[in-house]
Structure 1
Amino acid sequence: MSPSTLLNVFVLAALSLVGANAQVTGTYPATPLASKTFTYPSGIPEKVDTDTGLIRGFQHGYNQCNSTTEGPNSLCQTSFINSIDDFCLWAPGEPGSVVANTEGEMVAWCTKPGRGTRLIPQYALQGVQFIKTPNYVQVAGFIRQELINIDSADYGGEMDPHGADLRGNPMGGLIYSNAFGGDGGWTQVIEWHNFMGGNGFCLKACDPNKPDDEKYCEHRLDRIGCAYNAPNNAQNGTFESCEGENQDFPGVYTVNGQVMTYAQPPESEGPITTMPYTARIPASSNCVTYTSSALYTALPSPSIQIGAVSTALPSGASGSGSPSGSRTGAAAGAQNTSNGASSLAISGVSFLGVVFSILFLA
């Protein structure tokens, strides 16, 4: 573990003890990340996290990204979500990383070249659902996470533009979309969340011009994963783009006509082993199915050996990781796993759903 990682671990653990709202000297930036706005591409500074003397140190990467920064070593922290064939995910810069140790330093991994980022390798994406609703766009699916530098056994955690110190995870991370508005122009997404781990992922970006973007993209339920924060119908081996209705606000559910709000217990109480509700999966419509070879035509070969069986799978088929037909966002009962985390069990198979180590702070 690098000295910077050790420092991050110490700081985050300390913050978890004093509470997310405690005023610790040298912790908070003058302006929170979620309050910083920049026009893409002309208004992007080299780095958006420029405060000095803060506990977590300096922004790991940069935000001005172009052809000179693109490639396997890019540290670009400007990301995008536009469509099923054009989106990015946050992932580490170094192979074999654990999300909880690197959340503040994540970089953008994208499906299309041309924006100065890293590219998600071939064979990594095993199934993807993109959905556009009245208030947000969302992409969810299955991924060979070791191909984007996440340890294959890591159940991961959440990235969002807030963090315990308001600098975001990753620090300085920006997301833009051309899916909002009729002119195809770029909109900076103010509220978003991205769960990575358990060979699954979900990224939701809320339209800042619509009401309740902070509620649909809730960032304080980091321990209950995609199934409750971004319920979806993603299928391993299927690549589809849909229209859909809005989900219920994460953590809000109805029982016998009464609207209830779920309160996530503190880490000190141990793993979350049961949930009082099952998240409603929003209805989708007008779905169009694709093959992965038709969608992701410019992705590089993996930089690590992943085995002949995986690379020989036909386009759209599932590989190792999660079982074919399972869903990343289907809610179910939780069960214990190691390291103080929990995962969802669906048809007897555990994978991404309720995750996250003690260092995952909302």
Structure 2
Amino acid sequence: MSPAALTSSISRVAVTLLSTTTLLSVTTAQQSTYPATPLVSKHYAYPTGIPYQVDTDTQLIRGGQSGYNQCNSTTEGQTSLCQTSFLNHLDDFCLWAPMKPNSTIADTEGEEVAWCTKPGRGTRLIPPGALQGVQYMKTPAYVQVVGFIDQTFINIQAGDYGGELDPHGADLRGNPLGGLVYSTGFDTDNSYTQVMEWHNFMGGNQFCFKACDPANPDASKFCQHVYDRIGCAYNAPNDAQNGTFEACVGENQDFPGIYTENGVVMTYSQPPESLGVISTLPYQPKVPASSSCTSYTSSLLYSALASSSATPTGSSASGSGNGPARVTGSAASGSGASAGASATGATSGAEALRVGLVSGALGLLFAVVFLS
């Protein structure tokens, strides 16, 4: 073999080895980032089929799950690390929020715990006075709650405009890692359905939490997780009112990011974080029509909170990290009952505000670094 041919052969071998090494590096990187089974594909019957922890992929980049999913009377209280959540009705729902006081959503997205309006499921409880207005909406494709809250009561830093929690995340392990959601909103017998597609925006003293019916073929479209920078007004269009607590029946919204312009259906693409704050959008979301709205007195809706040990969390413990007594089949099932407080019929003239993570002072949509 001539010197030139030998040199060429060696070069080809070197390129092959380099390509193989690169491929192995990429494969190794992928293995260290993604779980064998994404969170959105993990199914567990409530309450008997839930493991102690859903996310056991401790070798991956973000480490292990910070809380637990098997929750019961031994875990209930303001230091609970329960990460099993519910969205059933106006008087019976949970929100994802931090373990420790004065936290931001962006810094704790993978560690949020369930804060609920009813005792009995082993979670933390939303303190009395925190909820300042809530609208529950049931549609053919999803159930949702949107509303107003003093977020410091559930450990979110004052002034934090927050972001989105969902069962995906950049590494498919969810935010929070291993977070489960169940609802009685899809069956007439109040049985629990695991919700595979959901999103919960928290921040700016506002929230929206939508759980999409897993039987609906468009569940992932109604509960999109790629519009994490444009908040509730675009992901869950609503007519929630500060000071009003009401349950309604509604029509389905347009899929988040989908709108019609001059008769043409358009899709909005959220710009990357590197381009800065989103100051304008090409469309205004259409608020779905609603009917059969009934208003309630908040003190009657959430009477169980007043008699519980729930307190404002500015001085609460941050959570001991201790899990529940490990039992099978005895986790509290909750009542699954719909809002039962007597209706007030009036909204007390509360100012109507469409909940969205929007800065009134700056007139800008807040953009936060948040895994979608």
| TM-score bracket relative to the smaller structure | 0.7 to 0.9
- Partners of 1:355 and 1:133 in 2: CA distance: 28
Cα distance 1:316–1:151, how it changes in 2: closer, same or farther (>3 A)?
farther
Note if contact 1:238-1:316 (Cα within 8 Å) is conserved in structure 2.
no
Greater Rg over alpha carbons, structure: 2
Aligned pair partner of 2:216 in 210, 225, 228:
210
Asked if 1:117 is matched to 2:123, the reply is yes
| Cα distance between partner residues in 2 of 1:197 and 1:326 | 19
1:337 aligns with: none
Deviation of the 1:183 alpha carbon: 2.0
Gap change, CA 1:350 and 1:141, over 3 Å in 2? farther
Query: 1:102 aligns to what SS in structure 2?
Result: helix
What does 1:128-167 align with in structure 2 at a 5 Å threshold?
A: 128-167=134-173
- Detail structure 1 runs of 4+ shifted over 3 Å in the superposition: 22-25, 315-318, 348-351, 353-356
What is the DSSP-based 3-state SS (H/G/I as helix, E as strand, rest coil) of the residue aligned with 2:196? coil
1:294 to 281, 286, 300: 300
Secondary structure of the 2:304 match is: coil
Cα RMSD for the two superposed structures: 2.2
Give, in whole Å, the separation in 1 of the partners of 2:345 and 2:273. 38
- What secondary structure, in the 3-state scheme, does the structure 2 residue paired with 1:298 have? helix
Letter in 1 for 2:41: S
1:246-265 to 2 correspondences below 5 Å: 246-265=252-271
Out of 358, 362, 366, the residue aligned to residue 355 of structure 1 is: 366
State the match for 1:309 in structure 2: none
**TM-fit CA distance, 1:210:** 1.3
Going from structure 1 to structure 2, the CA distance change for 1:254 and 1:165 (only over 3 Å counts) comes to same
Which of 275, 278, 303 is the equivalent residue of 2:281?
275
In the TM superposition, 1:183-194 aligns within 5 A as 183-194=189-200
The 1:150/1:303 distance shift into structure 2, 3 A limit, reads closer
Q: Which amino acid aligns with 1:85?
A: D
Aligned length: 312
Is 1:142–1:328's contact at 8 Å kept on the other side of the alignment?
no
- Counterpart of 1:102 in structure 2 is 108
Report the alpha carbon displacement of residue 355 of structure 1 after superposing the two structures with TM: 3.3
Which residue pairs with 2:358 in the alignment? 344
* Identical-pair percentage: 66
* SS of structure 1 residue aligned to 2:167: coil
Match of 1:231 in 2: 237
* 1:90 and 2:116 matched: no
The answer on 1:71 being equivalent to 2:77 is yes
Q: Give 3-state SS (helix, strand or coil) of 1:344's partner.
A: coil
> Amino acid of the residue matched to residue 44 of structure 1?
I
Distance 1:329 1:304, change over 3 A: closer
CA gap 1:168/1:316 in 2 versus in 1, 3 angstroms: farther
Give the distance between the partners of 2:230 and 2:252, measured in 1 at CA: 19
Query: 2:298 & 2:45 partners in 1: Cα distance?
Result: 32
Letter in 1 for 2:37: T
Q: Deviation per CA, 1:223-272, whole angstroms, max 9, x where unpaired?
A: 00000000111100000000000000000000111000000000011100
TM-score normalised by structure 1 residue count: 0.82
When residues 213 and 268 of structure 1 are mapped into structure 2, their CA distance, relative to the original with a 3 A threshold, is same
Match of 2:246 in 1: 240
Stretches of structure 1 lacking an aligned partner (at least 5 in a row): 1-21, 306-314, 319-323, 331-342
**Which whole-Å deviations, capped at 9, do the CAs of 1:101-145 have from their partners, x for residues lacking one?**
000000000000000000000000000000000000000000000
Of 284, 287, 294, the residue aligned with 2:290 is: 284
SS of the residue corresponding to residue 61 of structure 1 reads coil
How far apart are the structure 1 equivalents of 2:162 and 2:152? 12
Give the TM-score normalised by structure 2.
0.80
After superposition, the Cα gap between the structure-2 partners of 1:77 and 1:241, relative to the gap in structure 1 and judged at 3 Å, is same
Q: Tell me, what secondary structure is at the counterpart of 2:303?
A: coil
Partners of 2:144 and 2:221 lie apart in 1 by 15
Over residues 141-173 of structure 1, what are the superposed CA-to-partner deviations in whole Å (9 max), with x where a residue is unaligned? 000000000001100000000000000000000
